[in-house]
Amino acid sequence: MWCSIAALGGCARPAVVSEDTTAAESSPVQPAGQDLAETVAAPAAPAAPAIDIREIKLIEDNGQQGIFVKMTHPPAALAHYTLDNPPRLVVDINGGGTGSAETTAQKYPIEHNSLVSEVRVGRHDGQIRLTVQLRGAAFRPAR
């Protein structure tokens, strides 16, 4: 007796089944008549791609300044805080995916802005840290 099972999915290899239809107790092959629902595992969900930054803009509107960050997809989580000496705004962006384990960092000096002197972007394992270094001694974040 021959039985054929087709699996739909990506990159699945065909199972090699011997002609012996007797199943041992520890065998994953079930004898005819048994429910196979318990033995079939759902395919793993594909990993989300790592987040990346497409564009950073410093904007001024009605006397207020802001920073606009365009990303490849919405972040899974976001946290921000400020640091002193020098004054900085730090934004940690969790991309929800896995990226390279290699750590990378870039510095972008800002010359013609009265509030921001530098923007730094660091990446590690699907996470991004955006650091905005400010000019002056203190600042008040908008709420």
Residue 2 lies inside a defined structural domain of this protein: no
Tokens of 133: 């270094």
Residue 141 lies inside a defined structural domain of this protein: no
Residue 76 and residue 14: Cα distance in Å, rounded? 36
The DSSP call for residue 39 is T
Q: Specify the pLDDT at position 141.
A: 56
Q: Specify the pLDDT at position 28.
A: 44
Residue 75 lies inside a defined structural domain of this protein: yes
Q: What share of the chain is helix, strand, coil (3-state, %, to 5)?
A: 0, 40, 60
Residue 82 lies inside a defined structural domain of this protein: yes
Q: Specify the pLDDT at position 43.
A: 63
Residue 69 lies inside a defined structural domain of this protein: yes
Residue 93 lies inside a defined structural domain of this protein: yes
Give kind and range of the element (H or E) at residue 77.
Answer: strand 77-83
Residue 40 lies inside a defined structural domain of this protein: no
Which residue, among 65, 97, 98, 93, has the nearest Cα to 79 in the 3D structure? 93
Handedness of CA 24, 26, 30, 33 (dihedral sign): positive
Residue 104 lies inside a defined structural domain of this protein: yes
Residue 118 and residue 134: Cα distance in Å, rounded? 7
Domain containing 60 equals 53-134
- Please state the domain count of the chain: 1
**Tens digits of pLDDT across the chain (143 residues):** 333 333 333 334 444 444 444 445 554 444 455 554 555 555 665 666 778 889 999 998 998 888 999 999 899 999 999 999 899 999 999 986 666 667 888 999 998 888 999 999 998 877 899 999 999 765 665 55
